[in-house]
Amino acid sequence: MARNRNREEEDASIDMTPMLDIVFIMLIFFIVTTSFVKEAGIQVNKPEANQANKEPSANIFIAIRDTGEIWMDKRQVDVKRVAANLERMLAEQPTDLVVIQADKEAEHGRVVEVMDQIKEAGIDKISIAAETN
């Protein structure tokens, strides 16, 4: 009788290995397919616009402060190094759109310099971020 009870206990155990394998494979799938956004790293006071459109697929952001500082990937960069940094970021994650988050008090000339650097890196689609009313 004791032998039958032990055999029933052995048969009642559940093998968790296949379930853990599936969960691990799903975790790897979600990590690989996740799109990582390259934030500028700072907050700026964006100008307001009545006709602002939302760009859904932006992965790279460049911020320009009112003092003229340029921030990419959470660090400050020189205006002449924007194209090189952008090419490095594009090698990691290709995209066809870059969003410029310029402060409303930033100089127009500085924004144009950054746009030239973006074009030099080979990106033709540039968006300027604005707040909606």
Is residue 56 helix, strand or coil? coil
| pTM, to two decimals | 0.65
CB atoms within 10 A of CB 114: 25
Which token pair is 100?
A: 């410029």
In CATH, 48-132 is 3.20.20.60: no
Identify which has the larger pLDDT, 110 or 56.
110
For 36-79, write each residue's pLDDT tens digit. 666 666 777 677 776 666 666 677 889 999 899 999 888 899 99
Give, as one character, the DSSP assignment of residue 127: E
